[in-house]
Amino acid sequence: MQWITRQLFERVLEQARNSPRRRMNFNFHSHLEENPHRFLNVLVEGTYIRPHRHVDPPKPEAFLALEGQIAFFVFDDSGRVETRRVLGRDGLWGVDIPAGLWHSMAVLTPHAVCYEVKPGPYAPLSDKEFAPWAPAEGMPEAAAYLQALIRER
């Protein structure tokens, strides 16, 4: 059993702050084959999550904002933002999305803590399909793309 506490948030937040990706997961599932996968996704402002979808195999996901505010984006196949909502504000705490939707998130506060659930197993090579119209993580244009998404909300 694992308690979800302020101390856990702080510990994982410190790891996220020290990570080059500016985010860190804390898994509650004990192995990659376990179903469903349950984890905290602790995000520091400025982290870039490249738009992606889960189609092969199809995987729905659920996100709950436990702390902070997260802009959540759904895109069409050409990269146009279809839906833009802020989790953790005005009574909107989370989203349950079906498999196959292009999506991404951006942190709007200094940090955010998200509880995420999705089916396992996790296979790094096939877990997600990255959007061909969005810059890859680590590319110089990724920061400008992220800022453009945030400004357009």
Tell me the DSSP string of 68-89.
S-EEEEEE-TTS-EEEEEEETB
CA distance 71 to 11: 24
Task: State mean pLDDT over 140-153.
Answer: 92
Q: Report pLDDT digits (tens) over 14-24.
A: 999 999 999 99
Q: Delimit the domains of the chain by residue range.
A: 6-151
Q: DSSP character for 136?
A: P
- Count of Cβ atoms closer than 10 Å to residue 57 Cβ: 11
Q: Are 50 and 136 in contact (CB under 8 A)?
A: yes
Q: Report pLDDT digits (tens) over 98-112.
A: 999 999 999 999 999
Res 94: pLDDT: 98
CA distance 23 to 62: 18
Helix (H) or strand (E) holding 112: strand 111-118
Q: Is 152 exposed, middle or buried, given 0-12, 13-18 or 19+ CB atoms closer than 10 A?
A: exposed
Question: Does residue 123 register a pLDDT over 90?
Answer: no
Fold designation for 6-151: Jelly Rolls (2.60.120)
Res 35: pLDDT: 87
Please enumerate in sequence order all residues whose Cβ is within 8 A of that of 61, keeping only pairs 6 or more positions apart, or say none: 54, 96, 97, 116, 117, 118
| 96 alpha carbon, distance to own chain's centre | 12
Q: What percent of the chain has pLDDT over 70?
A: 99
Please enumerate in sequence order all residues whose Cβ is within 8 A of that of 75, keeping only pairs 6 or more positions apart, or say none: 51, 81, 82, 102, 103, 104, 131
